[in-house]
Amino acid sequence: MKIPKTADILGIINKIAPISLAEAWDNPGLQIGDPSAEVTQVMVALDPSPDVIDSALKASCQLLVTHHPLIFKPLKSISTTTPLGSSIQKAIKGGLSIVSLHTNYDIASGGLNDLLASKLGLSSVVPLKVTTNCELFKLVVFVPVDHVDKVRSALFDFAETQGNYRDCSFAADGVGTFTPLEGAEPFVGTVGKLATVNEGRLELLIGRGQLPRAVKALLAAHPYEEPAFDIYPLLNEGEKLGLGRIGRLPDSTTLGEYVGQLKKVLSAPVLRYVGDPMARISKVALCSGSGASLLRDAVRAGADLLVTGDVKYHEAREAEDLGLALIDAGHFPTEIIMVDDITERLARALVMAGYTSCNVEGCRTEMDPFRI
Ligand SMILES: [Zn+2]
């Protein structure tokens, strides 16, 4: 029975939402805990609130995965008289690790904003404000022909997808030469003699964020003492990632009708909106959580409407002045949808990695702190 460690689950989360995508001010990743601790029960929640931590401990979880990080700023003290200090103490005492994915999950392709875009019924969805234009590299490695498959599969985890294709690589056969020097312990050949070896030239496309891990995996899988590999910077444009999304509705509708639809889709008790309810809406921008800072980006991108949460009075007035319709659907309703998504994806990824004895459940007790 294969049991994952906290670090294994962090690795899976890093594939869903690479931490390298997070905003500079953010603090996703391991908040508290022992990376080498075994995990058989995981809870997924929006907030690491004291109530959620209690629920996770009650459910005998060893890991709590949340959207909002528990720790944002460096702590000068941990006093158990504060809610944060008490949460930290409780989690450590109860052997509960806490891992968060935040702006990395907002930004990631297939992350929270893509999920929200699909709930909003949008197609042709692209980032509203590009923050990462993935820099691409070509990794070329020379491998003895009978080891090409092993090295290739070790690198697939780090290779870029190309459109709807994953596991993209190229290999060609050739001849490599080398003379092992004194002190060498060659995998093939003899010290002092020129060796001629049938080798494959294996090529893969790797993004900057994955490059260090890819090289580490290459060195671990390659049989040679000194593998020969090259890293070429490319001028090809990589995938554009960023904050918020913008897409189109299949059929244009009125703002008033769309507000009614969203209220149901997001199970929001109330939706505040700015704009003429009879205005036609077809191009919709969105940002989960607090996204009113993207008002002007939405206007520049030609959006008829921005859907977000946490809108302040002056931002509402600015949207009105700009002629942009605005829906404040609330921070909680636009983000609580992450619980089911991460629960399902984590459970699936664990099974695919052979960890069949680790159970993942979504927290069902969280409530919007705002009541109407
Ligand atoms: Zn949030």
Distance 120 CA to ligand 1 centre (A): 18
Q: Do both 12 and 39 map to the same domain? A: yes
By C-alpha distance, which of 288, 336, 330, 327 is closest to 310?
A: 330
Domain that residue 38 falls in: 6-101+337-362
- Please report which confidence band the pLDDT of residue 270 belongs to, taking 50, 70 and 90 as the band edges: confident
Q: What tokens does 359 get?
A: 């159970």
Amino acid 340 reads: D
Quick check: 231 and 155 in contact, CB under 8 A?
A: no
Distance 57 CA to ligand 1 centre (A): 23
Q: Do both 326 and 178 map to the same domain? A: no
Number of domains observed in the structure of the chain: 3
In a domain, 215, yes or no: yes
In a domain, 313, yes or no: yes
Span of 122-126, 163-167, 354-358 with lowest mean pLDDT: 163-167
Distance 68 CA to ligand 1 centre (A): 6
Quick check: 273 and 261 in contact, CB under 8 A?
A: no
Inform me whether the pLDDT recorded for 329 exceeds 80.
yes
Distance 271 CA to ligand 1 centre (A): 17
By C-alpha distance, which of 173, 186, 171 is closest to 139?
A: 171
Quick check: 161 and 169 in contact, CB under 8 A?
A: no
Residue where one domain finishes, among candidates 185, 208, 233: 233
Q: Do both 143 and 219 map to the same domain? A: yes
- Please report which confidence band the pLDDT of residue 237 belongs to, taking 50, 70 and 90 as the band edges: confident
Q: What is the pTM of this model?
A: 0.80
Q: Do both 23 and 82 map to the same domain? A: yes
Which residues does 306 contact at the CB level (< 8 Å), separation at least 6? Answer: 284, 285, 286, 287, 291, 292, 294, 295, 298, 319, 324, 325, 326, 327
Which residues does 82 contact at the CB level (< 8 Å), separation at least 6? Answer: none
Q: Do both 213 and 297 map to the same domain? A: no
- Give, as residue ranges, everything with CB less than 5 Å from ion ligand 1: 289, 335
Q: What is the DSSP letter of 33?
A: S
Distance 81 CA to ligand 1 centre (A): 25
CATH code where residue 63 lies: 3.40.1390.30
Predicted pLDDT at 189? 92
